[in-house]
Amino acid sequence: MRIVLLGAPGSGKGTQSQRLVQRFGIPQISTGDLLRSAVARGTPLGMKAKDVMAAGKLVDDATVLGMIEERLAEPDVAKGFILDGFPRTIAQAEGLDRMLGQIGKPLTAVVQMEVPNAELVRRIAGRRSCQNCGRVYNIYSMPVGAAVVCPSCPDNPPLYQRPDDNEATVIERLKVYEAQTRPLVGFYGKRGLLQTIDATGEVDAITELLIGVLNSPVAAQARQVARAVPARKSAAKPKPKPKPKVKVKAKARAKARTSSRAKTQTKAKARARPKVKAKAKAKKSAPRRKVVRRAAAKKKKQAPRRKK
Ligand code: AP5
């Protein structure tokens, strides 16, 4: 199964992905988690993404696609994967199509999780996460008066609130979702991959709904079509044929020989040229001077002597 979970911030993509991981034994790939990890480690990518995420905007397509390409090259995705929070723009979806097309493993299902905006804002305001295990909780579904700690980790570390889960950023994230991510509904709809679920209600009930659509005839047919898709290896740029080393060496040697011969000839010419010119000058100028002198003497003899 190669699945995309689409949905607005707070629609439950992360929560349901973790459950699908248990059910199908395939990894969850969350671009939000990958970016948060880069921010926490202070990598160059993380430093670039930090302010963009805090403002509720989208990190640029090239960065996210590069991150996904690296992740899809890891061996644990061979059996399938759940993409959570990716793609988020048409350019990302087209990039993903190209990547998967080249390995002959197209998507098998895209599920759009619909939740009304008021519920999204409530869920995001109550969200708390564990930095240790990555599990996501909500203070509204915790027993009243319970400590806000991770019940799954042995030392029960305190849960934290994501820096982008404040009111102003949430409003921006919802706007960005409508403008840049919602168009993917049409994109995948046209490809016959999209199924939509109502993602309001109990978490367990939504999981069952999700598993239902992933096992539906529509998804089964998409998987069958995907199995028949060959790898589009030709889509990758063919590498230029390496020229045989011997030839290159021979060529280089010949070139060097020619150029050194040319240099020697040029030097010799340069040295020879002034001598030839000087001789020629000497030949030309010498007789002319004699002729001029003889003519002057003749003129002197012939000239009548002035009377005193
Ligand atoms: P990301 O981490 O992906 O955030 P998001 O898409 O905004 O989604 P959320 O994680 O907020 O919500 P979710 O749908 O996973 O809901 P959850 O299960 O946690 O991205 C963060 C930022 O990174 C982006 O703003 C952007 O800057 C950047 N980024 C990430 N991917 C990118 C990309 N591809 N391109 C560019 N930039 C990218 O649930 C929410 C809460 O509700 C939880 O508390 C949960 O316990 C609770 N809950 C879940 N289900 C239910 C239910 N049925 N009933 C009641 N409560 C529920």
Write the pLDDT tens digit of every residue in 210-250. 999 998 877 777 777 777 777 665 444 445 555 555 554 55
Say if CB 193 and CB 110 are below 8 A apart: yes
Residue 187 makes CB contacts below 8 A (sequence gap 6+) with: 90, 93
pLDDT at 272: 47
Residue 122 CB neighbour total at 10 angstroms: 15
CA angle 28, 32, 37 (to 5 degrees): 95
Which stretch of 95-109, 125-139, 175-189, 272-286 has the lowest confidence by average pLDDT? Answer: 272-286
- Residue 186 tokens read as 């049409």
Nearest protein CA to atom 1 of ligand 1, as residue: 32
Atom of ligand 1 nearest to the CA of 201: 53
Nearest protein CA to atom 17 of ligand 1, as residue: 12
Ligand 1 centroid to Cα of residue 154, in Å, is 25
Phi-psi group of 105: left, alpha or beta (phi > 0 → left; psi -120 to 50 → alpha; rest → beta) = beta
pTM of the model: 0.77
Task: For residues 34 and 64, give the distance between their C-alpha atoms in angstroms, rounded to a whole number.
Answer: 9
- Residue 114 tokens read as 């619909």
Task: For residues 52 and 6, give the distance between their C-alpha atoms in angstroms, rounded to a whole number.
Answer: 21
The helix/strand/coil state of 106 is: coil
Residue 302 has pLDDT above 70, yes or no: no
